[in-house]
Structure 1
Amino acid sequence: MSSHSEAQCYPLLHSNGSWDGVCNNARATNYLVSDYQDLLNNTGDGGAVFYLPNIELDASDQRTEHVHFQNSAGLLLVLILLSLTILTIWVFKVKRFRVMHETGLSILYGIIIGVVIHYGFPSTPQDEFYLAEKECESSGTVRTFEIGDTVTLQTQGGDGFRCSINSKVFRTREGDRIEEALLFDPELFFFLLLPPIIFYAGYSLQKRHFFRNIGSLLMYAFAGTAISCFVVGAMMYGWVLSTIDNRLSDAFATRNISVPGAPEAFGDNIIPSLLFGSLISATDPVTVLAIFHDLHVDVDLYSLVFGESVMNDAVAIVLYRSVDEYDGDETGFSVAGLFKSFGSFIGVFLGSFLLGTAIGLITALMMKFSRLRNYPLLETSMFILMSYSSFVIAELASLTGIVAILFCGITQSYYTYINMSQESRRRTKEVFELINFLSENFVFSYMGLSLFTFANHQWVPGFIIFSFVAIFTGRVINIYVLSFLLNLGRSKKISFRFQHMLVFAGLRGAIAFALAIRNTETEERQLMFTTTLVIVLITVLICGGFTTLALQCLRIRVGVDDDDDSLNPDGQEIPYDSTQGNLLISKFSVLDKK
């Protein structure tokens, strides 16, 4: 068994900031990066040899302290933002002030905090050094180089090695350190914040009105989202190409072109534009729906807006994933890739739907045939764990957790809810309402913060402005064309006033933001994120603020009781059958009653 003696390292510093580290028979020698500060400061023009003792240092304690500060500062700011939002909401409710919804307040407070941090804290240089770009030669069989808080050099079975590591010296700013505290892992949105929001949407669903309009909702969700995606994608691709030579017919055949101010990838093929179209097609009219709820707007309009947004989110996420995985040829398209993408969309959506529904049914059977109802705390806990497991299992199975947990929530509200004790029913409603409220407001607050704390914004004014034109065009085509087709077969037509309101309610929100922030590695992804952020902020603040005025201008009735449509002129309740005129739902109802 061979023995290895720890070596002494002799770093040779050069005037260009690089150093050569010669270590003979080194086993594992770690040096704190900051220890090289004096070496960098005393480098001569011709370089000099410095002796470092054989020490083993680690920066883990400093790193832990730094991370602890970031987490504590970030959590404190989140608590401050949510507290300010809640107190302002309370004032607004007392004063009956409906011009701005709580999500708009969250955004504004986030923007204010972001401005204070970005401009209020002066940049203070800190001496921190990071090493990168390593090139090494070794006669040993194994060598490992980890460049970060420590420099680790390791060989085995050889005479040693010679390493040349070009050091890049970065001076961090105190302001940057505070801004770092506000940067959350994008996966936090998908695994912790979005699931309860989506589940609550399904669990709090008004089933009677939802299933009465199920055909229209499915049409808006599937066909409407696809229309919006392709209209926005095609228009944005056309804008990118027309910006180059102002000749769309010739430009569509151009490749490897560069748009001033825009990433080159948008000119290579249409896929990045379609990807942007798919993520920005996710609507989130939470502000409009809250005002609808407070004013007791017509229940059919409420169910159309709410149901379309819930189903649209699920479809948009799967569509985004399918476009992202699209396998095109060099020109951007291939028949095989197109069918593969379509098949992936259908497979992922159906798989997620079946998984979420199955877990909901399993939970219902568990609650019905067990005696958990005698222990409400255990019953509620099991309900929450089973519901969240639908999201996690779907993600592990390469499906879409958002779709799974949505349909799990719908199934739970339809079957599990009636099999639980009264105490558990109350608890589950209140728990998910609370988590939904806090999660939603945190997401919108973080949107406001991101306007100033995100370091890699790509500001292309023309792209951003034309994006508004594209999404409005896509929304108009989506709603009016599909409503015309739907009215051909509906006994109760979707009025033009409702259609106008549906167009107005096409706000963008949490889903679009979460999809955009999940990947910001490249310039085109950063442009998508910046554009999405601006669109969300403006639509939520403007459309949300003018919802009441829009209802008045369109003369849509408010103060409507949920059961008004179920009464005949004599005030007697009319039995409602949600399966009328729908063969598929009718067959399901027969099975459901067995």
Structure 2
Amino acid sequence: MEQNNSTLPGVEQPLEEEMYSSWALLILMTLLIGALWTSYYLQLRKIRAVHETVISIMAGMLVGLVIKLAPGTIIQEMVKFKQGFFFNLLLPPIILNSGYELKRRNFFLNFGTILTFAMVGTFIAAVVTGVCTYLYALINPEGISISFLDSMIFGSILSATDPVTILAIFNQLHVDPQLFSIISGESLLNDAVAIVLSDTLRKFRGQDLHVVNIVKGVGLFLGVFWASTFIGILFGVVVALMLKHSQLYRFTSIESCLVLLMAYSSYFFSNGTQMSGIVTLLFTGITLKHYAYDNLSKTSKRATKFMFQILSQLSENFIFIYLGINLFTQDDLDYKPLFILVTLAFICIARYASVAPLSMMINAVCRAFGREDQLPRNHQMMLFWAGLRGAVAFALASGITGDSAPAMRTTILAVVVLTVLLFGGTTSRMLQVLDVRTGVIEPDESGSEGEEEDGKGKYAKVNNNDGLMETGQGTSRYADQSIGGLLSGPLGEPIPEDRPPHWFVSFDEKWLKPFLTKRHVQQRNLTLAEYWREKRRKMERANRNMLDGIRDDENQSDTLTLNSVKTNQYQTRPSNIVVGSGRVFGRSPSIDSDDEYNDHLH
């Protein structure tokens, strides 16, 4: 019988292959351990000038160069980037954790803006990059020959943003929640859009790009996106019902494992049916947190939360190490320095072309409805700065074909590394230059009573651009010291707006949550809702009293000033108005009248 030879080139014995595999894995594990220790040190010393992902890429580049120069190619083959390994093992934990830990309120409040940038913005960026690349190929300064379709595929791949570095810095500095939600939401959906767009364009290889095919492609793209969303929500609902109508809470390890496996199953099912696994897994994570999370036992709540975070952290660091190593270890590397530089310029132009016009349009719509601009100038610039490319773009590059495919793949890899180093390494400085609001603490929207303290509940110390706020035992608050800032209620909950809830919120509370969650959870949610209604009424009364107090103090100040002119006996006293975050919040509770004030002086 003929034996199937599955060993690597240059490896004659299975034991020898196992030995080299062990060395390759040890190298990767050592780099990963070093990256995590670096992350620990940077956070301990509060060093913002450089991020762990930048260190991971540079360490990977150094090791990749050593492997490239070393004799033999066995380990080089083993650490080579593999598309299936990335999409099936490394990417899902990041997407799942992003959906599970997503600030759902901010995400859906800004969902229209996020969809605009993720869909329209990605399409604009792909077209601009593709057209510029095609025009550059016509000039042909470095012997590059790229067809128009391949140029558009190249542009669609490079339209995939992956601002992991920037979002990690945002999370550490507690950047403005609205800006954070827009950038994180856009990056998540943008990856899915770029994948679907590039796959759609590949289907037209060998066909003419006329109007019918373009309309067909748009319809296919929209169908895949919304079908993937439905699949993700469906899997989340199935898990919620499974937890509600079973006694899995008695077996917490099985419960946690089933939640993880069901979530991963949604990703592979979607990919298997030629839908978008990223979109499916994202909405599976959102649905799990919104419904299934409340049906979990306290132990499983903690277990799933930290399990998803750990897997995501390991995957992110591993991806950047992987990219750094492959900058030198790929077989068909074909560096075209001028092509790399002009591609960097093209993606910057494309990013600006997708951010600036859409931001103006969104702000115009806000003004038309009598609201403030949603995207001020500094937020627009941070959106532009967050357009660095990531591993998704390089993974998609493996599908590029043609005579110039090696040069295009190498250029994409170089652009990914350079944008992470350039844009990711200067994010902290740009936040200061653009005066973006930081130090804003938001509550955990899960509202769970079973989560462990992470140190922030008892004592939090928050750095701001303008100052520092400490909160003792009790609540976290917005540490916003900017003009017009708004003091929040307990747990950082902002003062509710005086407008009726969205129709889906009412529908969700009345029908969906009773159907998908357990009774004690429903009762707790009703209690919390009543608490916030009462809290809002108290805030409204306090605001009215505050305005009355301001008027009384103005009249009192006028009277004292007049008396001081007549008798020259004006007595200076401190104001009994509490001022903070650019607004007057109320009278000091310790001094309520002039008599009490005089008693206080004596």
Q: How does the TM-score come out when normalised to structure 1?
A: 0.73
AA matched with 1:342: V
**Could you tell me which residue of structure 1 aligns to residue 434 of structure 2?**
554
Identical aligned residues as a percent: 37
Instruction: Give the C-alpha shift of residue 76 in structure 1.
Output: 1.1
Q: Deviations over 1:35-94 (max 9, x none)?
A: xxxxxxxxxxxxxxxxxxxxxxxx999353454244222211111110111122222222
Distance 2:280 2:389 in 1: 22
Matching of residue 203 in structure 1 with residue 100 in structure 2: yes
Native 8 Å contact 1:69 1:181 kept in 2: no
Moved more, 474-483 or 484-493: 484-493
Q: How does 1:290-301 map to 2 (within 5 A)?
A: 290-301=168-179
Instruction: Give the C-alpha shift of residue 521 in structure 1.
Output: 6.0
CA RMSD across the alignment = 2.8
**Could you tell me which residue of structure 1 aligns to residue 377 of structure 2?**
496
Instruction: Give the C-alpha shift of residue 96 in structure 1.
Output: 1.7
**Could you tell me which residue of structure 1 aligns to residue 395 of structure 2?**
514
Distance 2:324 2:136 in 1: 28
Native 8 Å contact 2:489 2:495 kept in 1: no
Q: 2:186 aligns with which of 293, 308, 332?
A: 308
Matching of residue 261 in structure 1 with residue 143 in structure 2: yes
AA matched with 1:190: F
**Could you tell me which residue of structure 2 aligns to residue 526 of structure 1?**
406
Q: How does 1:91-240 map to 2 (within 5 A)?
A: 91-119=41-69, 121=70, 123=71, 174=72, 176-240=73-137
Q: 1:347 to 1:220 in 2, by over 3 A?
A: same
Distance 1:31 1:352 in 2: 39
**Could you tell me which residue of structure 2 aligns to residue 13 of structure 1?**
none
Native 8 Å contact 1:505 1:543 kept in 2: yes
Native 8 Å contact 2:81 2:330 kept in 1: no
Instruction: Give the C-alpha shift of residue 118 in structure 1.
Output: 1.8
Instruction: Give the C-alpha shift of residue 583 in structure 1.
Output: 6.9
Distance 1:575 1:223 in 2: 33
**Could you tell me which residue of structure 1 aligns to residue 148 of structure 2?**
270
Instruction: Give the C-alpha shift of residue 585 in structure 1.
Output: 7.4
Instruction: Give the C-alpha shift of residue 571 in structure 1.
Output: 5.6
Q: 2:259 aligns with which of 380, 383, 390?
A: 383
Where does the alignment leave 5 or more consecutive residues of structure 1 unmatched? 1-27, 33-58, 124-173, 245-258
AA matched with 1:106: S
AA matched with 2:440: V
Distance 2:215 2:96 in 1: 31
Indicate the structure with greater strand content: 1
Distance 1:590 1:447 in 2: 48
Native 8 Å contact 2:11 2:17 kept in 1: no
Q: 1:201 to 1:29 in 2, by over 3 A?
A: closer
Q: 1:458 aligns with which of 334, 339, 342?
A: 334
Matching of residue 537 in structure 1 with residue 417 in structure 2: yes
Q: Deviations over 1:125-159 (max 9, x none)?
A: xxxxxxxxxxxxxxxxxxxxxxxxxxxxxxxxxxx
AA matched with 2:59: Y
Q: Secondary structure at the match of 1:477?
A: helix
Moved more, 186-195 or 332-341: 332-341
Distance 2:290 2:499 in 1: 16
Distance 1:79 1:303 in 2: 32
Q: Deviations over 1:157-203 (max 9, x none)?
A: xxxxxxxxxxxxxxxxx2x2231121253200011111111111111
Distance 1:578 1:485 in 2: 26
Q: 1:485 aligns with which of 351, 361, 385?
A: 361
Distance 1:442 1:188 in 2: 12
Native 8 Å contact 1:328 1:334 kept in 2: no
AA matched with 1:109: A
Q: How does 1:465-480 map to 2 (within 5 A)?
A: 465-480=341-356
Q: Deviations over 1:254-280 (max 9, x none)?
A: xxxxx7432x3x1xx311111111111
Native 8 Å contact 1:579 1:585 kept in 2: no
Where does the alignment leave 5 or more consecutive residues of structure 2 unmatched? 443-476, 515-602
Matching of residue 333 in structure 1 with residue 283 in structure 2: no
Q: 1:422 to 1:576 in 2, by over 3 A?
A: farther
Moved more, 337-346 or 472-481: 337-346
Q: 1:62 to 1:578 in 2, by over 3 A?
A: farther
Q: Deviations over 1:316-366 (max 9, x none)?
A: 11112111212553xx42233223322221222122111111111100111
Distance 1:529 1:582 in 2: 46
Native 8 Å contact 1:579 1:589 kept in 2: no
Instruction: Give the C-alpha shift of residue 407 in structure 1.
Output: 1.3
**Could you tell me which residue of structure 1 aligns to residue 222 of structure 2?**
346
Indicate the structure with greater helix content: 2
Q: Secondary structure at the match of 1:62?
A: coil
Q: 1:308 to 1:345 in 2, by over 3 A?
A: same
Q: Deviations over 1:414-438 (max 9, x none)?
A: 1111111111111111111111111
**Could you tell me which residue of structure 1 aligns to residue 472 of structure 2?**
none
Q: 1:538 to 1:361 in 2, by over 3 A?
A: same
